[in-house]
Amino acid sequence: MEDNLQKSTQPARRKTARWKKNLGKSIAKSKLAAAIISKLGVGYLEFVYWTNRFSVEPENALDVATPHQPAILAVWHGQHILLPALRINMPASVMISRSFDGEIQARIAEAYGAKPIRASGGRDKTRILEKGGIQGFREMLSALEAGENVVQTADIPKGTPRRACEGIIRLAAKSGRPIIPLAVASSRRYTFKKAWDGATFNLPFGRTAICMGAMIKVPASKDKFEECRIELENELNQITNRAYQMVGASHE
């Protein structure tokens, strides 16, 4: 009885108008829309880049990383929006989903000289082929074998945020290349609190910190995978917290 009363007193959720749904679907399928939005995105990232003061830790991060390239650059979902615009002198291929958002990100990545690999993992293993997960893994592996760096988010899309997945560990083991954890944090930002990954949108006229963590080498033996996964997760969390400390902000 009480449950029914509570349900009846709750405000009814408004349904999205059909015209809004149809408009959204049309935009999501439009390459012209993706092209326009991506150009605006590049312009905005450039504006943010040139109006922010940057600090890097360690200061000799590039010198440390260069001898170990090609490498797998690992970042958390939601903390990578500004990454394409950063002049870190580590050109890379980057795995990006086949969604509309992914199309925009891929175009932005290409504008900065990165090579997009259109694929993604996910919680639903039955959709790995549909999302190109297996093909994406092979392309990432080929890029590393060809001497190219690759960028990969360490957590699974729409999975548990800040939990490293085994896919990036398998890639490191198969390729024999090290994982280099990276974190980017800005003092001025907008946080999408309803997003599964708590994505942050970097804003101009602030401070931005780039932190590089300790490199992780994954042995071919599968019994070490979980140990390396936890090590990567801890390292990414540590440098993410450190990046926020460097800009005088707390990690939300």
Mean pLDDT by 10 residues, the chain (252 residues): 47 54 58 89 96 96 94 92 86 84 88 86 49 78 95 86 92 97 95 86 95 96 95 97 91 62
Q: Is the separation of the CB atoms in 32 and 58 below 8 Å?
A: no
Structure tokens at 115: 């090579």
Q: Phi/psi of residue 94, each to 5°?
A: -135, 135
Give the contacts of 155 (CB within 8 A, at least 6 positions apart): 76, 77, 161, 162, 163, 164, 165, 197
pLDDT at position 190, please?
A: 93
pLDDT at position 8, please?
A: 45
Give the contacts of 51 (CB within 8 A, at least 6 positions apart): 204, 205, 206
pLDDT tens for 96-127 read: 887 888 888 899 999 999 999 887 665 545 44
pLDDT at position 130, please?
A: 44
pLDDT at position 59, please?
A: 94
Rounded to the nearest angstrom, the gap between the alpha carbon of residue 166 and the centroid of all alpha carbons in its chain is 16
pLDDT tens for 178-191 read: 999 999 999 999 99
Give the domain ranges of the chain. Answer: 18-246
pLDDT at position 208, please?
A: 96
